[in-house]
Amino acid sequence: MSTPRLSPMLLATLLLLGSPALAAAAEPAEAEDVDPFEKNGADDEIVPPLRDPYQGMNRAFYHVNDKLYYWVIRPVARGYKFLVPQPARVSVGNLFSNLGAPGRSLNCLFQGDLKGSGTELERFGINTTVGLLGLFDPAKHWFKIRMRNEDFGQTLGVWGWGMSVYLHWPLVGPSCPRDTVGALVNALLDPATFLPGASLISRINRTSLTLGEYEDFKKMSLDPYVAIRDAYNQNRRHAVKSWD
């Protein structure tokens, strides 16, 4: 099941707060391709709210992540952005995206999507060779083969595990019991997990490409916590097209 496109600002906000499910599904190099006004057939459907019985704990962890962003992640990302030109940062994003291709292929297979699984393997082969180990994305730009945004949280959703309740973990961000388990499996499927410092570099690099969007999102939100929770709920339910 491919993920429909949300507003870039909402997606960036979830990424900045570290949601592993969305980070696994994001493709930083394509950020400018997203049309926030693009029509989607699911847009007319009413997405049921996600229960939040642990709101007190979740809000506390949200504030922890918010402070970490302003006090640690943003300053480091700003310095990184100053030192590293944007084309190089886009290539770094491509590299990490390419490393995740085998995991995405497996998740397509787990979901019964043989075509999608083959597409990810095809992209991996092209980008690893012609794209210089994934620094570039000729599969997309030359051959028009687009990435399939699939992760194990979505796979569990396709298998019938609903979202249940909202969780907001420190350092991780928006989640639910299903996506928490999914994130652990995603980590095992991602080679970057086993490269010292790679996950941190990926997060800083991703943040450097979206600096300012989280700040703007907060300014426009009466309650950023609720806005992030609802955006996460919408994105993840649409990702598996399941109103559980």
CA torsion, points 48, 51, 56, 60, in degrees to nearest 10? -60
Q: What per-residue confidence (pLDDT) applies to 47?
A: 86
Helix (H, G, I), strand (E, B) or coil at 169: strand
Give which of 169, 227, 180 is closest to 12, Cα–Cα. 227
Residues 153 and 236 sit within 8 Å (Cβ to Cβ): yes
Residue 65 has what pLDDT?
Answer: 97
pLDDT of residue 37: 34
DSSP letters of 63-93?
HHHHHHIIIIIHHHHHHHHHHS-HHHHHHHH
HSE-up (13 A, CA, CB side) for residue 205: 25
Q: Would you state the pLDDT for residue 241?
A: 72
pLDDT < 70: residue spans in the chain: 1-44, 242-244
